[in-house]
Amino acid sequence: MLNILGQIIRWFFIWFCFVFIICLAGAFIGVATHLLFGLIFMDMPDYECQAALGFSNGLRYGGVWAGGLSIVFCVIRARKEYLQAQVKS
């Protein structure tokens, strides 16, 4: 019973880390693209506003995909661990 609880906590932590990484990547990509597009398409861009808008949009769109994509990554990782355990035994 304790082993199962430990595995649940472990996989929840791994899933949470994947969600955090995906949201963080979305925020950074949002900031970079908004600043780049503001520089290219605007005459006098307000860089602070563009960066804030990019962070917000990137975090929002990254967050939409983060949960499901993290589940997929966890399943892939679990399958790899399962196959490695089968080879050892």
* Cα–Cα distance list, 31 to 38, 48, 49, 89 (Å): 10, 10, 10, 48
pLDDT tens digits, one per residue of 38-74: 999 999 999 999 999 999 999 999 999 999 999 999 9
Long-range contacts at 70-74 (CB < 8 A, ≥ 24 apart):
70/15, 70/16, 70/18, 70/19, 70/22, 71/15, 73/18, 74/11, 74/14, 74/15, 74/18
The structure tokens 């962070």 sit at 55
The pLDDT assigned to 68 comes to 96
The model's confidence at residue 2, banded by pLDDT at 50, 70 and 90, is confident
Q: pLDDT for 6-32, tens place per residue?
A: 999 999 999 999 999 999 999 999 999
Whether the per-residue pLDDT at 89 is higher than 80: the answer is: no
> Which amino acid would we find at residue 82?
Y
The model's pTM is: 0.87
